[in-house]
A = this chain, B = another copy of it.
Amino acid sequence: MQSVTDSVKNSIAGSSFIRKMFEKGIELKREFGEDAVCDFSLGNPDVPPPSAAYGELIKIAENAVRPLGLGYCPNAGLPVFREALAGMLSEQQKTPVQAKHVIATVGAAGAIVAFFRAVVDPGDEILVPSPYFVEYGSYCGHFGGVLKPVRSLLPDFRPDLDAIEKAITPRTRAIIVNSPNNPTGVIYSKEDMQKLGAIVERVNEGRERPLYLLSDEPYRAFAYDGAEVPAVLPLTRFSVVLGSFSKTLSLAGERVGYFLANPDMPDVETLLAAVTLTNRTLGYVNAPVIGQRLAAALVNASVDLEIYDRRRKLMAKVLTEAGIEFTMPKGAFYFFPAAPGGDDAKFVDALLAEKILGVPGSGFGFPGHIRLSCSVDEAIIARSAEGFKRAAASLA
C-alpha cells in the first residue's frame, strides 16, 4: 500500500538520529528510572524563561478577552513585533534595519523553509560546512534543492573557504552558515566571515540569479569568554539572517523566529514579498501571536547564560578527565568530541551501556565524532563523569 510518497517513506526509515536517541532515552528512563540516565541527546533548552515572561503572559491574557486579541495578524507579523525586531537587529547587525525588512516566522525553521520555497528551483544547490544540522537537507529538499556539505577543517571546525569557493556552481543558490554552530559550538571568526562575504559578492557580480549568504543564528546570544559573533549584514549585500527566541527565551515550543533580508540587497522588496507570500501559503499563515507578543516584550531579554557557561566548563572537565579529545566550544551549548578509536557509532553504544545518551556525528554528516548537548542540569553532567571514563577506556 503506497499510503505516502516513496521519498517520505525513505525519510521515515532513515529518520533523524537525534529522534532515535530520544526514543532510546525514553526506553532507558522507563527501565532504570529518570535519574539513572544522563541524556545529552536533545537540544531542548531546559532553563526557565526570563522571569519577566510571567508578567508579559498575564498582559497577553488580559488582551485575549478582547475581540481579535488573538486573531490573525498580517502575514509578515504584528507591527509591534517587527518594530521591536528591527530595533534589536539594527544594533546586533551593525546596519540600520526597518520593520519592513523583518518577517515574523514559525521559529527559525519556519523562516528557512519559507526562504527556500521563495528562491529554490529544482536542482539548485545549497552549500553548508559540515558537520551541520541535518534538517537543512529536508528544508531545501521539499522544493527540489540539493544540500552539498563541504567538510570543515580539523581540529577546530573552521569553514574550509577554499573548498566552499571551489564547490560553487551556476546552480548554487545559497551558502548556509550557522555560527555559533550546532553541533560543534564553534564561532566563526570575523576574518573567515569577511572572506566568505567577499566570495559571495564576487560570485554575484556576473549573476542574474543571486547567490545568498544565509546566516542561521538561533545561538547568537550564546557566546562565552567574551567571544564576538560577527555581524553578518555588513559582509555582503546578499545576506539574509534567520533567528529565533527558542533558546534565548527558552521558548522553543511556541515557535517564534524571524527572517531578515539585507536592506542593501538589490531587489530586496521582491524577496520580502516572496517570503511573506510563502510564509502564508506554506500554511504558517502568521507566526503564533501569543509568542510574537511575548518576544516583542522580551526582545532584548535572555535566560541566564551563566548557567550554560558553568555547564560548558564542567563538561569540558568531564571529557578531559576521561581522556576524550574535543575543541572547547566558544558558543551554543554543544560539544562535538572525537570518538575514541574513531568510530562514532561504537562510542555512542559504549556510552549507552553507561546510560549516557549522545548523537553520532554521522547524523550531522561528520562521522568519527559525537554531539553532546548541555541543555541539562550540571548535576547530570557531574554524574556522567565515571561513565565517560569507562566508555572511553573500553575503546582505547
| Partner pick for A70 among B9, B60, B68, B250, CB 8 A cutoff | B250
**A67 within 8 Å of B by Cβ?**
yes
Q: In the complex, which residues 213-263 of chain A have their Cβ closer than 8 Å to any Cβ of chain B?
A: 246, 249-255
Contact B283 A73 (CB under 8 A): no
Contact A64 B54 (CB under 8 A): yes
| Partner pick for A142 among B58, B117, B265, B290, CB 8 A cutoff | B117
**A154 within 8 Å of B by Cβ?**
no
Count of chain A residues near B, Cβ 8 A: 87
Q: Smallest Cβ distance from A277 to chain B, in angstroms?
A: 6
| Partner pick for A69 among B49, B114, B271, CB 8 A cutoff | B49
Q: Smallest Cβ distance from A304 to chain B, in angstroms?
A: 12
State A1–B210 Cα separation when bound (angstroms): 8
Contact A110 B288 (CB under 8 A): no
Contacts of A113 in B (CB 8 A): 282-283
Contact A4 B284 (CB under 8 A): no
Task: Find the B residue at minimum CB distance from A43.
Answer: B72
State A286–B143 Cα separation when bound (angstroms): 21
Q: In the complex, which residues 29-54 of chain A have their Cβ closer than 8 Å to any Cβ of chain B?
A: 42, 44-49, 51, 53-54
State A3–B265 Cα separation when bound (angstroms): 10
Task: Give this chain's copy count.
Answer: 2
**A363 within 8 Å of B by Cβ?**
no
Contacts of A64 in B (CB 8 A): 48-49, 53-54, 57
* From A46, A71, A107, residue with most partner B Cβ within 10 Å: A71
| Partner pick for A281 among B51, B139, B284, CB 8 A cutoff | B139
Task: Find the B residue at minimum CB distance from A47.
Answer: B67
* From A45, A53, A107, A288, residue with most partner B Cβ within 10 Å: A288
State A106–B285 Cα separation when bound (angstroms): 9
Contact A286 B139 (CB under 8 A): no
For the complex with contacts A49-B65, A54-B64, A71-B252, 16 further pairs of A-B residues with Cβ separation under 8 Å are A5-B118, A6-B121, A11-B281, A48-B64, A57-B57, A69-B250, A72-B252, A106-B106, A117-B142, A252-B285, A253-B286, A255-B285, A255-B286, A283-B284, A288-B290, A290-B291
Residues of A within 8 A of B (CB): 1-6, 8-9, 11-12, 15, 42, 44-49, 51, 53-54, 57-58, 60-62, 64-73, 106-107, 109-114, 117-121, 135, 138-139, 142-143, 208-210, 246, 249-255, 265-268, 270-271, 273-274, 277-278, 280-291
12 contacts between A and B (CB under 8 A): A1-B208, A4-B271, A8-B277, A12-B273, A49-B65, A54-B61, A54-B65, A71-B252, A73-B253, A117-B142, A255-B288, A288-B290
